[in-house]
Amino acid sequence: MRLKGTRYPAPKTGQRSLATLPPLALYGGSFNYVHTGVSISDGGRYFKKAARPGWFDPKRPSALAMENPDPAFTDTDIGRNSFMMHKVGAALC
């Protein structure tokens, strides 16, 4: 899975807050925190949490899974301690 960058026209002066709407809609509504993790390496991509050993916690299935951007430690989940992502997502919508 690759992160598909959608290009939006540059906001006009005074409308910069409109540029935040697409990411808020994605991570607040349609992003599947249970099955999907995020990596910012190599331009960004999504990955299946279940495909990486230890990245899916059945006790906390909706925890954010985020790959460490440091190339020496990409096997470290820096989102492991996140919690209540469903409430965070609802607050972004």
Residue-wise pLDDT for 13-66, tens only, equals 666 666 677 777 777 778 888 999 999 888 889 999 999 999 999 998 888 899
Global confidence as pTM: 0.69
Task: Please spell the DSSP secondary structure of 25-51, one letter per residue.
Answer: HIIIII--TTTEEEE-GGG-EEEEGGG
- Tell me the backbone φ, ψ of residue 39, rounded to 5 degrees: -130, 140
The alpha carbon dihedral of 15, 17, 21, 23 has a sign of positive
Q: What is the pLDDT of residues 46-60, one digit of tens each?
A: 999 999 999 999 998
Quick check: 87 and 56 in contact, CB under 8 A? no
- Residue 2: pLDDT band (50, 70, 90) is very low
- Residue 86: pLDDT band (50, 70, 90) is confident
